Every structure is written in structure tokens, then in C-alpha cells.
A and B are shown apart, each in its own frame.
Chain A
Amino acid sequence: MTGLTRRGLLRGAVYGAGAAATASALSGCGSIAGSVTSADEIRYWNLFTGPDGDLMKQLTRNVEKRTEGLKVRTTVLEWGPPYYTKLAMASAGGRSPDVAIMHLTRLAGYAPGGLLDPWDMDLLAEFGLKQNDLNATLVKRSLYQGAPYAIPLDTHPFVVFFDRDVLDKAGLLDGEGRLVPFESPRHALELMDKLRRSGGKLGPVFGHSNDPAMSWRMFWSLFSQTGATFDLTGERAEIDEDTAVEVVRFMAELARDSRTMDVQTAIAAFAGGRSPMIFSGEWDMATYQSTLKDRLGGAPIPTFYDRPAGAADSHALVLPHQDNPDPERRRRTHQFVAGLVRSGLQWAAAGHIPAYTPAVSSAAYAKLRPQSEYAGAAKQLALDPPVWFAGSGSDFQTRMSQALDPAIGGSSPAKAVRTMVSQINTLLAQPNPA
């Protein structure tokens, strides 16, 4: 204990206090400095990382280059529930970015609370983006009281990927390399057995355990195909529980080789060749492409029941609310967004289906494979129910997935559905905080 003297201790205390004071002063300054230097820049928040992130950076740069005087400062935040926490807090605190990416399904929780400002469609048209050129289902969902509160950039559906060679051998592909249609859930299960017998160690896989959304995506895809009642507009949920139980039972059968697989394990099983088929988000396409190369095939979620449907969401651009928006800045923001959305074809490289329909119907897009093979998913979109608590990254999806997980693992489907309904009723009973 020779190093510690009274004087040294005192000095330490003073330094400590000084450091503490500096720290608080610094944190106070940060925001002021930020708002001064970025006066000319459009502040843009998004949640794209990995290949998506690189592509978005490039797209943003391209739009900047094409447009004189446009500068964009991008802030990339990690995707997940905290993204929406930050966005909501920024909007509420009056320091919102000029434009941000938001999942279209979250709009119902944001627009009515005054957290967003509507887009000026005339202004967007002036910069070459017309509402007619956007996917109609997405546009319909972007309206609140008739005004457009979101401009869809893409849709990112839950789809199916497969190994062409193995499926061809098992007779699951038609003459043009497309998945053969299933006549019924039973027929689908028979074909999956055939697939198991004809090679691969595993049948179709589906990574879900402890994932906050995958089980819900699967359920919502299949349930939407039945057209049965799932009405959350009243005080209590009106859900066709018998159909739901039937769907959960089928889901568990379909995914019986992946009862307890998590997303990473399922991806590894498919990309590594142990399983010839995976139910997956298209956003993992790049991972599969790197190992399967040309053998990789894709398709929208097959129709097992009465009508085509597949769970999906959409990255959309929104204007977080500002009390006194500068008209010039707003104008440039519109210009930026019009440029971004019209770059749909480049954006498609990452796997997402552009919301900009001229891009999807172009000859260049048809050459993108497997993107063009599952592009049909954009015509059968099953977005989350339009209630404030649902949508991507919501507590609702986590609760639904957690209720479903055990049933896929082999426990009672009826119990899973009961849990889901009771959780939904709990959420319905809560006031909308926005």
C-alpha cells in the first residue's frame, strides 16, 4: 500500500470529478454539434446491415451523384425491437431524422399517434415516382385516413428454397423447373415423404426455435391460405380456432425434421446439403446461393389450402413527424426517396422484391434467379393484421412464435392455439400507447 498517499488520493478525486463533469458536458454537446453541421444533409435512418447494408449504401451514393446538391447522412441502427424504440423516441423528442425505414406492418402503431407525417404524392410524381408504379397491396396498406404515410421500397416475403437437382430426382419439379402444385396438405406430406426417400438425410426444414418471428410467419402464411376468420378489430379476438389447430398440426407435420431447429441450424442444414428444402425468409438467399450456386431454386410459399398466401412485410420509407419542417428539406427528402425507390432493380440483387413494379416487370429482373422465381410472392402478400401491436419486431410476433414453438416441437396444437388467443386478448385489452 505504499503507492497510495493522501495527496495522490485527493488528486484522484479531483480528476474523477473533472472527468465526470467532462463526460456530461460532452454528452450535452454531441447533439448540438450534430444538428449544426448536418444542416444541409438529409438525415436517413435505416436498419440494413450485411449485404443489404452495402447495397443500400451504394444506392444512396448513386442517388446522391445523380442529384445536384443532395447530401444524405445515413445512420444504420441494428434491426430488432430496439430499432422502433429509438425511432419512436426520436420522433417524440423532436429530433427525428428526415426520413427513415419502417416496416409497413408497424404503420398502424405509428401513424394514428401522430408520429409520422404524410407524403406529398404530387411532389414525388414531380421527381418521377407515381403511386401507380408501386405494388397495389402495399400502397393500400400505406394509407391512413386516405393519406399515404409510407412509400414502400420492397416486399420481403417468407418463401421456400430448394435444391433443384434433388427435387427434380424426386419428381417434385415440373417440366420448366417449377415446384409441382400441391392438391392438399395430405398430398404435400406424401410428396415430402417421397422427397425423404429419394435422397437427402432430412426432409424440408424450417428454423424457428427461440426465434421471435419465424413460427408466426409460417403460421400466418398457412392460416391466410385457409381464408378463415382472424379478426382483431373488436374488443376480443374472433379467430376460427378449429382451423388454427388444424393449421398448427399440419405445420408440425411439415416441419417434423426440424422440431427443435433454430434458424442458424436450419440454414446450415440446407446450405450444407443435408436437407433439400427450406422454408425461409428470402433475405437469407445470399447464404444459400454461395454454396448451392445454380442448383438453388426458389418459389413463393406453396398453396396448401384454398388460396395462395405467404407471410410478408415491406421496408417502407416514412417521414418521422417534425413540428416545423423546412419545406426545402422536405422537398429534397422527397427527391431522395423517389430516386431510391426507382432504383428497385439494383435493390433486388439482395433478394427483396422491389415495390416499384416497372423494375419487377423488366427483362433484367427476369434474368435474376432465383429472385424472379419467387417474385410471384408479391401477388399473395399476407401482411400482419392491421392492429397497433402487430408487425415486424413487435412483442406480438414474439408472443405468437413462443406459443407456437412447443407445438412444432411436438406438444399439443390445441394448447398452442389457446395460448395464442389468450395472448391476443391480453394485447387487445391494453390501450394503444401511441
Chain B
Amino acid sequence: MTPRPPRTTGWLFATPFLVFFGLFLVVPLGIGLWMSFTDASLTGAGGSTFVGLDNFTEALGDGQVWQTLGNTVWFTVLSTVPLVALALVMALLVYTGMPGQWLWRLSFFASHLLPVAVVYQIWNMLYQPDRGMLNGLLDLVGIDGIGWLTDEKYAMWSLALVTLWWTVGFNFLLYLAALQAIPDHLYEAAALDGAGAWRRLWSVTLPQLRRTTGLITVLQVMASLKVFDQIYLLTRGGPDGTTRPILEYIYDTGFTNYRLGYASAISYVFFGVIIILSLAQLKIFSRRED
């Protein structure tokens, strides 16, 4: 047995990471927390005075905070459900023997590699009310076109659809990997016991995927709560603020209206909401595993 290296070696290896982690995550987090108690302005005018909990009181009473938080949660629901369910269906179809697996794998995952600017260009064209492809197709079958991004009734659904198309490939890949990790002997045993294909799906495959589903759901909820880019590009939060996510409100408050202190406070309120949601999720999924 070789002697254990001194404890410091491990830390030394972690140093490059820790330096960057500290510099670009921990320190800004701390500065942000401090700013949320001040009236700091982006313009630096008037210095920044300590204002105690004023920003937090304002945030809790600010209708825009609640409205945009509501929009964010609504988007999370609209996007997470199909992003988990459809990814599972796609993975099952590919795994249970559609021919040309590599082609499906590639095409389901390819859109995930596109930068958001390209996604915006593509979908902005598809959604054009007057000369877009979607309304063109509706027109062919004699249905009046709809304002995909301009009508309050449809805008959020349209954004969820874009997000689904863009990111479902990642969840699909996680599911596919999990499917491939299910040991074959389980299926063999089930088959010997006379279980049909549906039985095997319900009693072997899905239970074996539970942990993956938990993981994907947690990751997806986080990702959806963080939504900003595609909405900012496609609707800028419109029509009438119905798709404005809370991150855009924070951005507008801090960088367009220069109120960094207040924007930090809203960020921390949102941070709190995310922590509560994550803890709740963790609890739900760990209980299921028992």
C-alpha cells in the first residue's frame, strides 16, 4: 500500500477551480446580497446608501414581481410536462426498435446544439403572422391564421413549443442512456414469467427509470425557471407583459432602469423561491424511492 499523500494535495488540485468559483460566483453573490440592502444605481450616482429591508418590502408589494413570477411558473409548467413526457416517449420509441437508431438520436438531439439566436431566427420566421409557415399551413386547410406570438392566448404556448423543440433532445438522451443501463436479465425473467410487452414496460422499464425521471424533472424545472433568452428575443415579454419572465423584469430593473439595488433584492426573493421549490422536489422524489 502506498502512503496516503498529505491532505493539502487535494486542495492544491482544486485550487484553479476554487479561484474561479470564488471570483466569479461566491464574490458576486456576496456583492449582490449586500447591494440588495442598498439603493445602488448602475449610474453610480449618489453612492449607495444602506436602506435596510426597503427593497424587499417594495419587492413583496410590487405587482410586477408577482405577475412576472407567475409567468415564469406558468412557463415552467407548460414546458416541463412535455419536456419530460415527450422525451420519455421518444427514448422508448428509439430504444424499442425503430430502425436507424443513430439517425433518430442525431435528429432528436441536433436542435439542442443550436445557439439561441438561431432558434430565434427560425421560429420567428415560422411564427410570422402574415408570411410565416405555420399560418401559411393553416391557410391551406382553410383556418384563419393566429397571432402565435402576439395574442395573449397563444404567446406562452408558442414559447413553450419553441423550448420543447429546442431542448427536448437533452432529456431524450438522458432517458436513452438510462434505458440502455437497465439489465437485460430483468426483461428475460419477466418474459419467462409470461409478461407481455406492455407488462414489461409498466413493471420493469418505468420503475427502473424512476431515478432518472426525478433527475430530469429537477433539472428541467431549474432550467425552465431560468428562462430568459428565447422569450426576450421572441416577444420581449409581450403581449402586454403576459410572457415576461421574472429574470427579464430583474434585467429591466437593473440594466434599463439602473436600479441595481432593487434588482438584486428581487433576485434574492426569486432565489428563495427556487430553494423552496428544490427542497420540495427533493423531498417528493426521495420519499418515492423508499
B150→A434 contact, CB < 8 A: no
Q: Which of A286-321 contact B (CB under 8 A)?
A: none
B43→A433 contact, CB < 8 A: yes
Indicate if A248 sits at the interface (CB-CB under 8 A). no
The stretch from A25-33, A183-191, A260-268 touching chain B is A260-268
- Identify which of A16, A268, A393, A399 gathers the most chain B CB atoms within 10 Å of its CB: A399
Task: Find A88's partner among B13, B43, B46 (CB 8 Å cutoff).
Answer: B43
Measured between C-beta atoms, what is the minimum distance from A277 to chain B in Å? 17
B64→A405 contact, CB < 8 A: no
Indicate if B170 sits at the interface (CB-CB under 8 A). no
B257→A426 contact, CB < 8 A: no
Measured between C-beta atoms, what is the minimum distance from A201 to chain B in Å? 12
Indicate if A368 sits at the interface (CB-CB under 8 A). no
Cβ contacts B9-51/A at 8 Å (1 or 0 each): 0000100100010000000000000000001011111100000
Which range contains the number of A residues in contact with the other chain? Answer: 35 or more
Measured between C-beta atoms, what is the minimum distance from A434 to chain B in Å? 5
Closest to A24 in B: B23
Interface size counted on chain B using CB atoms at 8 A: 36
B150→A210 contact, CB < 8 A: yes
Task: Find B129's partner among A262, A402, A430 (CB 8 Å cutoff).
Answer: A262
Task: Give the distance in Å from the alpha carbon of A91 to the alpha carbon of B258 in the complex.
Answer: 13
Task: Give the distance in Å from the alpha carbon of A85 to the alpha carbon of B256 in the complex.
Answer: 6
Closest to A110 in B: B43
Indicate if B212 sits at the interface (CB-CB under 8 A). no
Indicate if A409 sits at the interface (CB-CB under 8 A). yes
Q: List 12 A-B contacts (CB under 8 A).
A: A85-B256, A209-B149, A210-B149, A261-B129, A265-B130, A398-B236, A405-B239, A405-B240, A419-B240, A426-B62, A433-B39, A433-B258
Q: Please indicate the chain A residues that have their CB under 8 angstroms from the CB of B39 in the complex.
A: 431, 433
Measured between C-beta atoms, what is the minimum distance from B191 to chain A in Å? 34
Q: Please indicate the chain A residues that have their CB under 8 angstroms from the CB of B258 in the complex.
A: 85, 88, 433-434
Cβ contacts B249-262/A at 8 Å (1 or 0 each): 00010011111000
Task: Give the distance in Å from the alpha carbon of A261 to the alpha carbon of B149 in the complex.
Answer: 11
Task: Give the distance in Å from the alpha carbon of A82 to the alpha carbon of B256 in the complex.
Answer: 7
A13→B257 contact, CB < 8 A: no
Closest to A394 in B: B256
A260→B129 contact, CB < 8 A: yes
Task: Find B44's partner among A13, A16, A93 (CB 8 Å cutoff).
Answer: A93
Task: Give the distance in Å from the alpha carbon of A401 to the alpha carbon of B244 in the complex.
Answer: 14
Using CB atoms and an 8 Å cutoff, list the residues of chain A in contact with chain B: 13, 16-17, 20, 81-82, 84-85, 88-89, 91-93, 113-115, 209-210, 212, 259-262, 264-265, 268-269, 389, 393-395, 398-399, 401-403, 405-406, 409, 419, 426, 430-431, 433-434
A395→B257 contact, CB < 8 A: yes
Indicate if B241 sits at the interface (CB-CB under 8 A). yes
Q: Which of B215-239 contact A (CB under 8 A)?
A: 234-239
B43→A113 contact, CB < 8 A: yes
B131→A268 contact, CB < 8 A: yes
Using A88-B258, A210-B238, A402-B237 as known contacts, say yes or no to A434 and B43 having CB atoms under 8 A apart.
yes
A434→B16 contact, CB < 8 A: no
Task: Give the distance in Å from the alpha carbon of A259 to the alpha carbon of B151 in the complex.
Answer: 10
Task: Find B42's partner among A13, A92, A393, A406 (CB 8 Å cutoff).
Answer: A92
B241→A433 contact, CB < 8 A: no
Closest to A81 in B: B256
B150→A402 contact, CB < 8 A: no
Q: Which of B48-74 contact A (CB under 8 A)?
A: 62-64
Task: Give the distance in Å from the alpha carbon of A210 to the alpha carbon of B148 in the complex.
Answer: 11
B130→A269 contact, CB < 8 A: yes
Q: Please indicate the chain A residues that have their CB under 8 angstroms from the CB of B42 in the complex.
A: 85, 88-89, 92, 433
B257→A433 contact, CB < 8 A: yes
Q: Please indicate the chain B residues that have their CB under 8 angstroms from the CB of A262 in the complex.
A: 128-129, 150
Task: Give the distance in Å from the alpha carbon of A293 to the alpha carbon of B236 in the complex.
Answer: 34
Q: Please indicate the chain A residues that have their CB under 8 angstroms from the CB of B150 in the complex.
A: 209-210, 260, 262, 405, 409
- Identify which of B43, B45, B62, B238 gathers the most chain A CB atoms within 10 Å of its CB: B43
Indicate if B136 sits at the interface (CB-CB under 8 A). no
Task: Give the distance in Å from the alpha carbon of A84 to the alpha carbon of B240 in the complex.
Answer: 23
B257→A91 contact, CB < 8 A: no
Measured between C-beta atoms, what is the minimum distance from B178 to chain A in Å? 22
Task: Give the distance in Å from the alpha carbon of A431 to the alpha carbon of B258 in the complex.
Answer: 11
Task: Give the distance in Å from the alpha carbon of A259 to the alpha carbon of B146 in the complex.
Answer: 11
Q: Please indicate the chain A residues that have their CB under 8 angstroms from the CB of B128 in the complex.
A: 262, 264-265
Indicate if B214 sits at the interface (CB-CB under 8 A). no
A260→B147 contact, CB < 8 A: yes
Measured between C-beta atoms, what is the minimum distance from A12 to chain B in Å? 11
Task: Find A406's partner among B234, B239, B257 (CB 8 Å cutoff).
Answer: B239
Closest to A422 in B: B63
Task: Find B241's partner among A82, A393, A402, A431 (CB 8 Å cutoff).
Answer: A402
A81→B255 contact, CB < 8 A: yes
Measured between C-beta atoms, what is the minimum distance from A78 to chain B in Å? 13
Task: Give the distance in Å from the alpha carbon of A426 to the alpha carbon of B259 in the complex.
Answer: 14
Q: Please indicate the chain B residues that have their CB under 8 angstroms from the CB of A406 in the complex.
A: 152, 239-240
B45→A433 contact, CB < 8 A: yes
A402→B240 contact, CB < 8 A: yes
- Identify which of B44, B131, B259 gathers the most chain A CB atoms within 10 Å of its CB: B44
Task: Give the distance in Å from the alpha carbon of A389 to the alpha carbon of B151 in the complex.
Answer: 27
Q: Please indicate the chain A residues that have their CB under 8 angstroms from the CB of B259 in the complex.
A: 430-431, 433
Using A261-B130, A265-B131 as known contacts, say yes or no to A209 and B45 having CB atoms under 8 A apart.
no
